[in-house]
Amino acid sequence: MPTASPISGSITLSEADSKALLGRFGVPLAGERLADDPDAAVVAADELGYPVVAKLNGERIAHKTERGLVRLNLADADAVRTAATDLLGAATAADGQVQVLVAPMLRGNRELIAGLSKDPQFGMTVMVGIGGIFAEALADVAIRLVPIERVDAEEMIDELRTQALLGPFRGEPAVDRTQLADVLLGLSRAAVATPELVSADLNPLIVVDGLPIAVDALVEVQA
């Protein structure tokens, strides 16, 4: 069963299921594969191209980093096989059925965050902000009530105070505002079409050659 949430009556989906839900509404995601064993993980990595990331995926596993269930920058088949073996070996009976999620190792100098959150008074909201090492220091976010239109998404992006991070940065092109707006519109559509959705967290959105791509996702729904 999915992970129980602190919010009464809600559950947290696995990373793979969270991404599958949001991807149906146009949220841009890094390509990934699920593997049941180390050999399948190697096949997945070969298909995706090295380097890759490997994570333990399961309906009862919400916070992988705290448990050391993420392996980064795996450069070859041997590294993937070792990582997958270690990850599957780290699973406990409480984790239920697990798989290894293999995804491309994306790199960028900027990270953004986006998500959905249900305000107890006003209802579902969508947000976008500056993430990564700047997130806590800047607390730079913009929020709107769902549903939003493209003009609302564009205004949210324009409201971010740290506009320099959205322009050309350290040799990389400016953030593609159209794709970033698409992320917010996809989240809005997901909220409208999924009444049981409680929250969604895209953290981080890594900016790769100007394109924001979600490399992690966590969705919470009413049970």
- The pTM (predicted TM-score) of the whole model is 0.88
What pLDDT does 4 receive? 46
219 in Cβ contact with 13 (< 8 Å): yes
Peptide bond into 147 cis (omega under 30): yes
pLDDT in tens, 115-163: 999 988 999 999 999 987 666 666 899 999 999 999 999 999 999 998 9
pLDDT in tens, 169-182: 888 999 999 999 99
3-state SS record for the chain = CCEECCCCCEEECCHHHHHHHHHCCCCCECCCEEECCHHHHHHHHHHHCCCEEEEEEECCCCCCHHHCCEEEEECCHHHHHHHHHHHHHHCCHHHCCEEEEEEECCCCCCEEEEEEEEECCCEEEEEEEECHHHHHHHCCEEEEECCCCHHHHHHHHHHCCCHHHCCCECCECCCCHHHHHHHHHHHHHHHHHCCCEEEEEEEEEEEECCEEEECCEEEEEEC
Q: Read off the pLDDT band of 66 (50, 70, 90).
A: confident
Q: Which of 141, 207, 149, 217 is nearest to 180 (CA)?
A: 207
What residue ranges define each of the domains in the chain, with the CATH number in brackets?
A: 3-14+22-27+108-222 (3.30.470.20), 31-104 (3.30.1490.20)
User: Residues near 63 by Cβ (< 8 Å), separated by ≥ 6?
Assistant: none
Residue 111 has pLDDT above 50, yes or no: yes
* Range in 24-33, 57-66, 183-192 the model is least confident about: 57-66
